[in-house]
Chain A
């Protein structure tokens, strides 16, 4: 996991700023969601990916709208990076009619068929086979699409991941398995839930190429994702990427985190993927901090507008509770 220099990996100034913008959108959306939750404005459970933004931004920068992703309970970042709309996402967190699912699904179930988000998922491991199915469809369609499964280190213990690695390799599907290895499954550290924490070794057991990257370095993630998606698009089969990253927040908002020391969290913030990328932008591309401050301010406005829009939306009609239980209209 050596540091990747953005110039060496074909990241120009524009793309570099785009990557920053994506990470900042995620950070801003989630920071705001965390505050709204703490203030009692958002109901239910929310899980934030603050500290992990580079994985979502780096992988999704190698994708376009026709590609598929599936994600997890900690999936806001992947959805944002894949093109999910902030307003509909925020409205869904609020349980409003204008949310992606009419407020019926909440934070853990964002899906958008216009940009290939097959869905976030509240069942650990639940989304991985769907991504394999997206890969199967892509293989059949023959248009060079890829399908990406995002999952955590916790999901590595679910049998379904292993079934999926085998199937994807066996069928040579255009799938990229992205393990966001943040070292925790809820309150349990990886040392207590995985017999072998080197997730790349598992891919090797199925004959699948795998790469371990610094998940807090967006250029490293993007480089690995480009290689994996290129393989997939060319028909050479699946790849596993293990992105080592850091979960700054509790498992869910409100988690008192008694299972880890404050210092551990403070140490993580020193590996901030956004600060790191600001430094790269400045050093390698000469982007002045003021320009990035403006990006931050614009994004804060966008997220603020999403919140205002969500607040102003009506609640959905309980009379419609049984709508969409069966699909409506022909497909």
Chain B
């Protein structure tokens, strides 16, 4: 085990995968010479050379699409689209093209490519730099979406994404950039589609991921008399239904916590599935906690109010537990 910062874990995954497989390429704005706007691609140019590690112009549609073409031609590009907000500029290439290549060619072609973006929510970067667009991405058949909340998961998921034969969107948390955590010395892969049970419990299942996961963990740590099972989904799509459903069948209660706007969010998918599959076991209404129906605000106090904070999560847990079914 080694203790590294979140960004260093990402950097390590890139170094390891580029060394393992020469087909892996890294392209994006400021990724080569400067080593990434936030350092995630440091040392790659020096180690793997300018053919495989390239700075690009500010042309998201072109670079995502070029990664796709190179992927169809046999390479395994990792394209950095700096902030998640910027992928909107490349959405045709993501949604209409990359996600559908396998399907539209009946498996003749595949798009083994990765798009990495940071989600800067919590960093006071305002409405066009702090959005959480996970639900948009998760809604596209053919596109996998992962988001590690710890250094080990950020590394292991990125490695799994690079080895995956389809397009995978890897979201990274800018607020956690310098958070330290242990990573294995060996080649540790975090499989796509497998959640992590961070803490076992019997009274309520709390499902979270990505940016909200560290705050949810802090909330759960404060709860003394309540036994919460904390699940970090790690993969948003395809999500680990088995783990979540098995947990709710035991606890009878579900709270989903995410940073994205609640309306039409990923939490709705999980809530609906649980409501259908765990009808007999549920003893309280399924709840969701997330951002209100508004763009991400800039001012620190507004952003704090916008994102679910540990105290909001604690209250939602307690309210869910206190809810009793009215006699019918």
Contact = CB atoms under 8 A, between A and B. Distances in A.
A13 interface: no
Nearest to B127: A105
Given A106-B298, A186-B29, A186-B30, A122 B126 contact: yes
Contacts of B300: 43, 95
B221 interface: no
Nearest to B37: A186
Contacts of A186: 29-30, 34, 37
A318 B297 CA distance: 10
A258 B35 CA distance: 11
Name which of A125, A187, A325 has the most chain B CB atoms within 10 A of its CB: A187
Nearest to B304: A318
Contacts of A104: 127, 295, 297-299, 302
A96 B62 CA distance: 39
A157 B57 contact: yes
Nearest to A193: B57
B89 A44 contact: no
Interface string A305-323: 0000000000110100110
Contacts of A188: 29-30, 33-34, 55
B94 to A, nearest CB: 15
A317 to B, nearest CB: 9
B127 A318 contact: no
Contacts of B293: 322, 325
Contacts of A60: none
A158 B57 CA distance: 8
A122 B128 contact: yes
Q: Which one of B30, B293, B306 has the greatest number of beta carbons of chain A within 10 Å?
A: B30
Nearest to A124: B58
A123 B58 contact: no
Contacts of B57: 154, 157, 185, 193-194
Interface string A195-210: 0000000000000000
Contacts of B34: 186-188, 258-259
A108 B120 CA distance: 15
B32 to A, nearest CB: 9
Given A106-B124, A159-B59, A45 B302 contact: no
A122 B130 CA distance: 11
A92 to B, nearest CB: 8
B36 to A, nearest CB: 10
Given A45-B129, A123-B85, A158-B59, A325 B294 contact: yes
A258 B55 CA distance: 16
A318 B307 CA distance: 11
B48 interface: no
Contacts of B30: 186-188
A122 B83 CA distance: 11
Interface string B255-269: 000000000000000
A315 to B, nearest CB: 5
Interface in A165-206: 185-188, 192-194
Nearest to B86: A123
Nearest to A320: B302
30 contacts: A43-B299, A45-B129, A103-B299, A104-B127, A104-B298, A105-B298, A106-B126, A107-B126, A108-B128, A109-B126, A122-B127, A122-B128, A123-B85, A123-B88, A154-B58, A157-B58, A158-B58, A158-B89, A159-B59, A185-B57, A186-B30, A186-B37, A187-B33, A188-B55, A193-B57, A259-B34, A315-B302, A321-B294, A321-B305, A322-B292
